[in-house]
Amino acid sequence: MPESSAAVPAPNSTPDDAVVYTEKLWPNFWIWLVAAGLSGAGIFVFAPISLTTGLVAAVVLFTILAVLLVLSTPTITVTGSTLRVGRATIERRFLGAAAAFDGAEATAERGTRLNGLAFLCIRGWISPVVRIEITDPSDRTPYWLTSTRHPDQLLAALRS
């Protein structure tokens, strides 16, 4: 599976439903290794019954973990009129300033500087984050904070 699929931002004159940017926040390789290691524990649990049962349990556990990882992988999609992060969608007219953070700054955004009312779509295996201010006066959410492997491309798409 590819780590992400980022579209090149389109010019300013895009139809409202045209996708300007998309990215899938796939788990890193080491997450799949952890899933394989956890499923390998099935061998140890069921090996006293039989080795075949242990191997079947490991395969079943890995299949369950893989399905859960794939189903819980969020997508970031920017169209001419909306921003969708995971299951949340907002019209772009309610978006304010957006800023990208990496390294220690990203850690601070996810931690000490985090507002408890912010919408979060963060993944521990992706360091960079983008904070997008929300300007809707009827929405108590001050900003969205999302992980992204391509913060500059996401910012460019939001500015288009």
Tens digit of each residue's pLDDT (9 = 90 or more) over 102-116: 999 999 999 999 999
Interval 121-136 mean pLDDT: 95
Q: Look-up: residue for tokens 């394989």?
A: 36
Residue 62 near residue 39, CB atoms below 8 Å: yes
| Whole-number pLDDT of residue 34 | 93
Residues 6+ apart with CB under 8 A from 110: 122, 129, 145
Residue range 34-55, pLDDT digits in tens? 999 999 988 888 888 889 999 9
Beta bridge partners of 131: 99, 145
| Whole-number pLDDT of residue 2 | 46
Percentage of the chain exceeding pLDDT 90:
77
**Predicted confidence (pLDDT) at residue 5 exceeds the cutoff of 80:** no
Interval 120-134 mean pLDDT: 95
Residue 42 near residue 60, CB atoms below 8 Å: yes
| Whole-number pLDDT of residue 10 | 46
pTM greater than the 0.75 cutoff: yes
Residues 109 and 155: their CA atoms lie apart, in Å, by 17
Interval 127-134 mean pLDDT: 96
Residue 26 near residue 3, CB atoms below 8 Å: yes
Residues 8 and 127: their CA atoms lie apart, in Å, by 21
Show the tokens assigned to 114: 């985090």
Scored b (16 or more CB within 10 A) or e, 24-61 reads: bbbbeeeebeebeeebeebbeebeeeeeeebeebbeeb
| Whole-number pLDDT of residue 17 | 82
Higher pLDDT, 160 or 56: 56
C-beta neighbour count of 119 within 10 angstroms: 18
